[in-house]
């Protein structure tokens, strides 16, 4: 399944759970079955504690003996187990609401699914995942056929919106510039993009690629091998190259548009010399004047056939035998 399909499947699970929660059919936190598992675990731990405490009180066992110290250690372990269980239960309750909100609002990134699997959190927080509690009070959930500690599953990635906005702000300055940026300015642009990517996490960079945060990336196929942790530097380099190449194209088009202004040409007929001429206005305000064939002049300005045009000056007439550069106007 694709990242989009996996995320969509998790969205459906969350939507179903929220619908049931609103109706009162289910409650937040652990399910009834999971709460029963928790109560049974606590009862077993209390039995272990009581037995160890009873043995530790045996007057026949010296308080300096290994047996006594072992009983005390067992009692302390039970306390630690129950504290650990309570902390994880609290974390699950708090994290559940945040995760459900993030999924419902569309903040969860496709970066969580690039390995081709769901991270299991939608099943955990919707009460669909099997739960267990190990000997040390760690809550574990079954994900992909294997029980894993909740602490290893709790983290997930959000869309890298801040990182994307930082990049887009810099690109917008290139696009919004009225004149082309110089090579030095483009160098500064490249360094700023590199600085943002250098500070980005693996999940953030993948989010830039997968979450449609940057225009054009939805049409670019990036090798999934680059999503591996050991390939992070290569992934950042490729993303930077894509962004800088796009910016160069924008800057290049702007340069072409500003460096080649269209010439303004005017055709006319002089009554005195009986010649057709072409006046080309130059960017600096001056103009070139030259004789042209009648066919060219009339094709450019058909009105010349019937109209009497202006008379050229003596200076202009004297230059009609060669190209004449007129004064600035």
Helix axes 32-56, 66-104, angle to 10 degrees: 160
Pick the last residue of a domain from 101, 133, 153: 153
Radius of gyration of the chain (CA): 39
Total number of domains constituting the chain: 3
Pair (252, 307) in one structural domain: no
Pair (97, 208) in one structural domain: no
Pick the last residue of a domain from 259, 286, 311: 259
pLDDT value for 315: 61
SS3 content of the chain, % helix, strand, coil (to 5): 60, 10, 30
- What does the pLDDT look like over 81-98, one tens digit per residue? 999 999 999 999 889 989
The token pair that represents 58 in the structure block: 């045996």
Q: Would you call 73 helix, strand, or coil by DSSP?
A: helix
pLDDT value for 298: 77
Pick the last residue of a domain from 112, 132, 153: 153
Pair (134, 12) in one structural domain: yes
Whether residue 312 contacts residue 320, with contact meaning beta carbons closer than 8 Å, is answered with: yes
Pair (61, 179) in one structural domain: no
Pair (176, 229) in one structural domain: yes
Pair (175, 80) in one structural domain: no
**Residues of the domain holding 76:** 3-153
Pair (227, 99) in one structural domain: no
- Rounded CA-CA distance 79/68 in Å is 17
Pair (301, 321) in one structural domain: yes
Pair (107, 44) in one structural domain: yes
Pair (135, 60) in one structural domain: yes
pTM of the model: 0.70
The token pair that represents 189 in the structure block: 């642009």
In the predicted model, residues of the chain with pLDDT beneath 70 are 22-28, 255-263, 304-329
Pair (128, 181) in one structural domain: no
Q: Would you call 276 helix, strand, or coil by DSSP?
A: strand
pLDDT value for 82: 95
Pair (295, 237) in one structural domain: no
pLDDT value for 218: 80
- Rounded CA-CA distance 325/327 in Å is 7
pLDDT value for 292: 82
């Amino acid at each position: 399944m694709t990242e989009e399909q996996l995320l969509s499947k998790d969205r459906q699970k969350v939507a179903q759970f929220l619908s049931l929660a609103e109706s009162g059919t289910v409650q937040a936190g652990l399910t009834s079955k999971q709460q029963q598992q928790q109560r049974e675990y606590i009862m077993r731990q209390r039995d272990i504690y009581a037995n160890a405490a009873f043995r530790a009180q045996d007057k026949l066992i010296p308080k300096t003996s290994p047996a006594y110290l072992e009983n005390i250690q067992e009692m302390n372990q039970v306390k630690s187990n129950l504290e650990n269980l309570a902390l994880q239960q609290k974390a699950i309750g708090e994290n559940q609401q945040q995760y459900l909100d993030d999924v419902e609002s569309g903040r969860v990134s496709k970066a969580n699914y690039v390995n081709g699997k769901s991270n299991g959190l939608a099943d955990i927080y919707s009460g669909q995942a099997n739960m267990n509690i190990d000997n040390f009070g760690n809550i574990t959930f079954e994900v992909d056929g294997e029980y894993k500690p909740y602490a290893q599953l709790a983290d997930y990635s959000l869309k890298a919106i801040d990182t994307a906005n930082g990049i887009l702000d810099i690109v917008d300055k290139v696009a919004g510039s009225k004149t082309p940026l110089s090579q030095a300015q483009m160098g500064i642009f490249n360094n700023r993009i590199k600085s943002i990517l250098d500070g980005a996490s693996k999940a953030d960079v993948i989010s830039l690629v997968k979450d449609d945060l940057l225009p054009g990336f939805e049409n670019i196929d990036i090798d999934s091998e680059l999503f591996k942790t050991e390939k992070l530097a290569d992934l950042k380099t490729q993303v930077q190259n894509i962004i800088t190449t796009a910016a160069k194209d924008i800057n290049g088009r702007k340069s072409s548009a500003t460096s080649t202004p269209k010439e303004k040409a005017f055709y006319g007929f002089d009554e005195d010399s009986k010649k057709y001429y072409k006046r080309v206005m130059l960017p600096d305000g001056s103009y070139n004047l030259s004789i042209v064939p009648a066919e060219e002049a009339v094709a450019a300005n058909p009105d010349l056939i019937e109209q009497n045009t202006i008379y050229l000056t003596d200076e202009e007439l004297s230059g009609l035998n060669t190209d004449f550069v007129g004064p600035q106007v």
